[in-house]
Amino acid sequence: MKNKLTIIIMVLAGLTLSLQANATTITYNFQENGPGDLGATSTFTESGFSLTASGFLTSGGTVDLFAKNLGAGEIGLGTTGDPSGQHEIVTSDFVQLTLPTTPPSNFQMVIGGSVTNGETMQVWFTTTAGTLGGTLLGTITATGGTVTVPSTDQSGFIDITAGNGNVLLSSVTISTTVPDGGSAVALLGIALAAIEGVRRTLRKWGLG
């Protein structure tokens, strides 16, 4: 019996470590609510995790978001403020992403789309809603280019604008651990307490 209890404890401990390390990556392609005009603010949900995007003019005020889907390289999130009518992000507006805080997650990467012919996309981190600026995290110079969001910049907003021309926000990724380690440890603690109770009872009966 003692050996069996030891094995049970080891299995539970291994399960807990497995749960704690079960990180998953979630990708938003901004087609979850589209295609078409999404209004000035739209919340996108994947695997139970939500990400809110808002459209702003660099001069102040809002602009509607636009989910574009015209095939490879032309799929992503733009705005209705594009004077060319292509519904992409231009130098006079930007898309602001509110970094998710619940459930716990880490914002990882921004991926650019429709960045061609000398166009550029700028990715900023800021703690100010509705205002472009803060820290320039990087510049994307080609379709499929990426900018990684540092682990120190996880509480605030990510701003995406065109440095030149018009561009699309192709997708972003976040990572999260499901379930969270705290819950797993709590469950293990309850299980171990129950096993210890059984062990004491067996000892009392002379069976342990």
pLDDT along the chain (208 residues), means of 10: 51 48 85 96 93 97 97 94 98 94 84 97 97 96 97 94 98 78 50 57 60
DSSP string, 108-130: EEEEEES--TT-EEEEEEESSTT
pLDDT of residue 114: 97
Please say whether the beta carbons of 92 and 57 come within 8 A: yes
C-alpha closest to that of 113 among 25, 47, 30, 24: 30
C-alpha closest to that of 166 among 104, 198, 204, 121: 121
Structure tokens given for 82: 């594009």
pLDDT of residue 204: 65
Q: What confidence tens digit (pLDDT) does each residue in 100-134 have?
A: 766 778 999 999 999 999 999 999 999 999 999 89
Residue 113, phi then psi, degrees to nearest 5 = -135, 155
Give the predicted TM-score (pTM) of the model: 0.76
Please say whether the beta carbons of 113 and 159 come within 8 A: no
